[in-house]
Amino acid sequence: MSPSAGRRVVDLFAVVPAGGAGTRLWPLSRSAAPKFLLDLAGTGRSLLQQTVDRLTPLVGPDGVLVVTGQAHGMAVRAQLPDLPAANLLLEPSPRDSTAAIGLAAAVLVRRSPDAVIGSFPADHVISDVDAFGAAVEQAAAAARAGYVATLGVRPKYPATAYGYIENGERLEIADAPSALSVTRFVEKPDRPTAAAYLSSGAFWWNAGMFVSRADVLLGHLARHQPLLFDGLSAIADAWDCGDRDSAMSSHWPALARIAIDYAIAEPVAAEGGFAVIPADIGWDDVGDVVALAGILGGPGDVQILGDRSRVLAVDSTGLVAQSGDRTVTLLGVRDVAVLDTGDAVLVTTMADAQRVKDLVAAWRDRGRPDLL
């Protein structure tokens, strides 16, 4: 497919898929209180609230849609009291990101046929909001030119925990001077491959943000996942002016569980339909305790989430998450992560960050679903 060009300027809508258990941040992140609902940056705002806070100036107060599981509906409403009721889309069961974003696109295109939509994960942090806004503006311009645009985060180190985007030639799109074509999306590489990506200068971290005309995105979906497209279309037809519940129960359970990276990004990039906007926006996915320590960035050798006055660290380095009235004291421990919640305390090391998710399964096996 070659990108279509020169449509009229339309409003940007932001879709925020709020899902994912964040099990590498257990016991902070739980099935009932997942990562996106948590104030992991210690700012007083949850990651979801911060996401909406930085999108609202770009799309207006009615321009943000949140897609989340029914189990989290009340918590999301409580955290986002200004979100219009029509802009909260509740999933009866998890069907992965293509269904979540596709549903939002299908509903939006019926409300606003020329809508440009951007999809932005609810559980990441972005420290440079101005740079983020400028990048999204360019991505929207590329989207209006017919591309699916993504933000490519400049790699700071040879990360093995992120997927990468390889860029091709400059695209010469009006109002998107940074836009480059996307050659391919690649999954999490091993360390030598990541180092080669870093030194090549042509690879970018995939932050999972996509901007596209809604009709363009749905066109890709219709070609690459026609059954998914049909199911979402049936639901969207009923969403605002039909029997939404009946359509949902008829079609939602049968939708394919597939990530948008596989359903859309990889095949459309191969067709030349993807653009990347390189962006230095201070992005972090806060995926594990190492990342959490990184975003806190406070003084001293121990990063603290919570009440600093309740944490005492002597000859120690690492991370402490404090909660409630409880105090945490460290003595002589190095590169440690201590996460203290009401019912659980985890003591581990930065080197074990990736293995924390296994503990959730271990507690499940012990018959403690309340801890998951």
Point out which residues bind its own copies (CB under 8 A). 27, 309, 312, 314-315, 325-333, 336, 338, 340, 342-349, 351-352, 355-356, 358-359, 362-363, 366, 368, 371
- Please work out, in degrees rounded to the nearest 5, the angle formed at the alpha carbon of residue 174 by the alpha carbons of 172 and 180: 35
Q: Closest separation between CB of residue 251 and its own copies, Å?
A: 41
**Looking at beta carbons only, is 202 or 350 nearer to its own copies?**
350
Q: Closest separation between CB of residue 309 and its own copies, Å?
A: 7
Instruction: For residue 6, report the phi and psi dihedrals to the nearest 5 degrees.
Output: 60, 45
Q: Closest separation between CB of residue 188 and its own copies, Å?
A: 21
**Looking at beta carbons only, is 217 or 304 nearer to its own copies?**
304
Report residue 113 as tokens.
């046929």
Instruction: Tell me the C-alpha distance between 44 and 60, whole Å.
Output: 22
Q: Closest separation between CB of residue 233 and its own copies, Å?
A: 46
Q: How far is CA 84 from CA 61, 64, 104, 170, in A?
A: 8, 9, 14, 39
Q: Closest separation between CB of residue 344 and its own copies, Å?
A: 5
**Looking at beta carbons only, is 269 or 339 nearer to its own copies?**
339
Is the peptide bond between 267 and the residue preceding it cis, with omega within 30 degrees of 0?
A: no
**Looking at beta carbons only, is 231 or 318 nearer to its own copies?**
318
Cα torsion through 218, 220, 225, 231, rounded to 10: 10
Paired strand residues for 276:
150, 180
**Looking at beta carbons only, is 80 or 338 nearer to its own copies?**
338
Q: How far is CA 193 from CA 36, 140, 217, 270, in A?
A: 30, 31, 31, 21
